[in-house]
Amino acid sequence: MAPGLLHLHTYFLFPFSIDKQAVLRNHAFVWAGKQYWIDGLDDWIAVHGRAPASDFVAQVGGWQRSAYQTFTLDSPAYQDMVFFHPFVRRVFFDTSGTRSDSENLLRCYRIPLEGKKLFYESEDIKGRSASLQVTDLRLFLYANGIGILSLGVEAYKIPASQALWINESMRKVYPSSSRQIREGRFPSRLAFVIEQDGERKTVVEERFRDCTGMIGFLPPLAKTITSLLYFTDYSQQEFEPVLDERMIVYTYAAIDPDTVPANYVSSEEYRVLISRFLYVDRDGADYRYDKNFLLAQMHRQLYRRWAHQGTYYGATSYSNITICLGNFDCDEHELREGFLIHRMFDGRYYLMAIVALFYRVTLLHFAEVSAEVSKQLYLDIQDNKLTLASIKLANDLRSEFLHFANYWYFDELANKEEEIDHFLLQCREYRTDVMKREIEEEVDKLNASLHNFFQLRNTEAVNRLAMLSLIFGAGAVLTGFFGMNFAREFGQLFFEGTMAWWIHYGAVAAVSIFSFGALLFGIYMVISNWADYKSILSPRKTDTNRTRVF
């Protein structure tokens, strides 16, 4: 008998990076009078929501701020926040109506789906298809320009093979080649469909027939993604996907015990199924890759604390799974209060997955910015014309990285051992600690390079000053000596010219030439090295209209 699922709940997570400078240029009116980037996000999204630019917004609705406002014992805010350290709550939870509102450097939004039936559909050229109800649409926007789009879908009583196809197929956002579509390795159709009065109407559809290719260096994103990010213009490169053609799959699968043998928990078939979910592969009778290789990988990537009950947690660089066998009472957690494993999946583990993904995406963004800044500095140094604009880029990179490392980044989010284990497992697969150390080394080397460069420039400036001082000092001594009021034969020879007029005029000419020559040489040195002195001599300018982009 083929295994079936009681419940499939999957969040497809799409991380992206916003070009804040481009958005500020294109939507300057939104940020007029605002000091910080984060202050304009609500208005930026609301402006596009009031004037729907797509059928999706008109028929389904737009993003609405979804900050935590109620903190009673049974509230979602309390249930979500109580498991995290207090300093984590201040940083990673969007709250409203509290004293800590000013501390929030992120915004959380939802598209309300109450009273609506929205479906996410996919099909390929080989006739395989699926239609799942969308139960959650969430958007996280951070002050550093990173965003995470979360698309949640659910299905009940479906074969495990179909669940595997759903996770593997619906996570795609653009084809890596047209061959993928022809071979059925990529959906030939992705769509959002809304059901009203018993009739279904397609709201957004992508068939990849009119893909025009790259937009600059960016791939052609599916309309299912751009329709959700309607407030930012992908064609104008206001944002870019950070990862590859796949969204991150965060999934929960509860296997129906009636569809599997009694000893299924300890069977090889269960391990094969777990591997297929973990590596987001389609259904198969055996391991997709070499068995010994996969078992070694799974030993590192699976969390087995509750394996005796058939419950496994796992993480890779592109997936995060919770898989269990049926619904049951978990010790003193009664099933009538809601299945504990699913509550944890949909609560604190989801939030921890978002934080870990934010870390990974931010560090990848830093790697890109670091490369761009290094290139600009390299070109400037090659031309021996290091500009203040390039120096500011390097300083901004350093300050933003320090802010990330000191404000956002935590090795530990919660105090409980199981939560710590889950978060460390995900971060290890994302290589966040390794990437953070690498970026930190790059930023330090960049800073050391600038320090060495300016130390050399300062040495050159000091040497120029010493040379000019010597020349001007010698001239001052000479003219001062010449100008002293010596009398008798000396005065008659040099000052009065009565003894030998040609000596008198020759001395005057020599001293004049030396004095004016020293002055002209000093002017020449300042002009030829004006880049070193311009910033010192020019008064500082304060741009009161500039919005800070952090």
Q: How many CA atoms lie within 13 A of 542 on its CB side?
A: 1
469 touches 522 (CB < 8 A): no
HEC-encoded secondary structure of 382-420: HCCCCCHHHHHHHHHHHHHHHHHHHHHCCCCCECCHHHH
CA gap 12, 173 in Å, rounded: 10
- CB-based contacts of 66, cutoff 8 Å, min separation 6: 94, 108, 109, 110, 138
pLDDT at 538: 58
242 touches 17 (CB < 8 A): yes
CA gap 548, 523 in Å, rounded: 39
Average pLDDT per block of 10 residues along the chain, 550 residues long? 91 94 89 86 85 76 86 78 86 74 80 92 90 95 94 95 94 83 84 88 84 72 91 88 92 94 92 95 90 92 91 95 86 73 90 95 91 83 72 84 90 88 93 91 81 71 72 69 63 68 76 77 73 59 45
CA gap 60, 407 in Å, rounded: 36
What is the 8-class DSSP label of residue 2?
-
Per-position b or e across 323-360, b if 16+ CB within 10 A of its CB: bbbbbbebeeeeeeeebbbbebbbebbbbbbbbbbbbb
415 touches 89 (CB < 8 A): no
